[in-house]
Amino acid sequence: MTLHCRPLLRTFFLWGLVCLVGAAGLACSKPNRVDPADAAQVRSIDATVERLRQAYINKNAAAFQALLMPLDSLRRLELEIERDFAIYDRIQLDMGIDRVLIEGTDVAVYFHWQGQWQRKTDDQPIRERGHAILRLVGHQNLAVSGVDGDDPFGMTSRRLTVDQPPAR
């Protein structure tokens, strides 16, 4: 290669690099456009999950039941929650949303949880954790239509099956 071609090649390479960096910068600087309706729906889902958690830890049966759909399949859940409220004096529950799937008016909220349930007669609280799916229905006013997996509600029933002695 001749001596006078090197500066030309170097200039060409430098301008190519500048163009590449500039194009990458423009591609990354596009604003993330989130549909305001979608953002509002996600905030509504988050608020519903928080209202459910608050109703449970505050042992507010009326507020909890107001978030449930009037389904026979949820009656067992209501009874288990009432039993939790009667047996445990203090309930602490933390819930973290992992994923939300929305299909029309059906919403599936995948979440992890950890909690403590304390009775006055016990020195140590019961500590549990798990993963569950909260099924919600609706757009503006969401209601619980089911809970799948390791749900945190109904700890009394869970502990009774664990604490029972083995059958002979």
The pLDDT tens digits for 73-114 are 899 999 999 999 999 999 999 999 999 999 989 999 999 999
Starting at the earlier edge strand, list the strands of the sheet with 126-137.
Answer: 90-103, 106-118, 126-137, 143-149
Cα(first)–Cα(last) distance of the chain, in Å?
92
The larger pLDDT score, comparing residue 9 to residue 140, is at 140
Dihedral over Cα of 66, 69, 70, 76: its sign? negative
pLDDT at 158 over 80: no
pLDDT at 162 over 50: no
Q: What percent of the chain has pLDDT over 70?
A: 75
Q: Give backbone dihedrals phi and psi of 32, rounded to 5 degrees, phi first.
A: -80, 115
DSSP-derived 3-state class of residue 22: helix
Per-residue tokens: 44:
């509504």
Look-up of token digits 């009394």: 156
Q: How large is the average pLDDT for residues 31-51?
A: 87
pLDDT score of 116? 96
Domains of the chain: 36-163 (3.10.450.50)
DSSP-derived 3-state class of residue 49: helix
By mean pLDDT, which of 46-50, 80-84, 155-159 is the weakest?
155-159
Does an H or E element contain 12, and which? helix 5-28
pLDDT at 121 over 70: yes
Dihedral over Cα of 132, 137, 141, 144: its sign? negative
Per-residue tokens: 5:
């071609």
Residue 110 bridge partners (DSSP)? 99, 133
pLDDT score of 5? 62
Q: Give the β-pairing of 106-118 and 126-137.
A: antiparallel
CA distances from 46 to 1, 116, 125, 142, 147 (A): 66, 22, 28, 10, 16
pLDDT at 163 over 60: no
pTM over 0.85: no
